[in-house]
Amino acid sequence: MKRALYTQAHTHPEFAQALLDTGDNPIEEMAQYDYFWGRGRDQRGENQFGHVLMDVRKQLRDEAST
């Protein structure tokens, strides 16, 4: 998933910019019925999609600073 989103960020600069525009704010996938990729109905999910997006954001920042 990380590789796919990283590739998407490089092929769609508007996506990369939107991701970078989030700053240091946490990213949460508010999928109501998904407790792995999202937060789930009761907000106790793992939010793996948000974590992957934040990892890609960090990688894009690191590339921009070098």
d(CA 56, CA 34): 21
Whether 53 and 5 have beta carbons less than 8 Å apart is answered as: yes
Question: Is pTM beyond 0.75 here?
Answer: yes
d(CA 44, CA 58): 24
Whether 29 and 41 have beta carbons less than 8 Å apart is answered as: no
DSSP letter assigned to residue 35? S
**Per-residue model confidence as pLDDT tens for the chain (66 residues):** 999 999 999 999 999 999 999 999 999 999 999 999 999 999 999 999 999 999 999 999 999 998
Domain 2-65, CATH number (from 1.10.443.10, 3.20.20.140, 3.20.20.210, 1.10.357.40): 1.10.357.40
Task: For residue 50, give the 3-state DSSP assignment.
Answer: helix
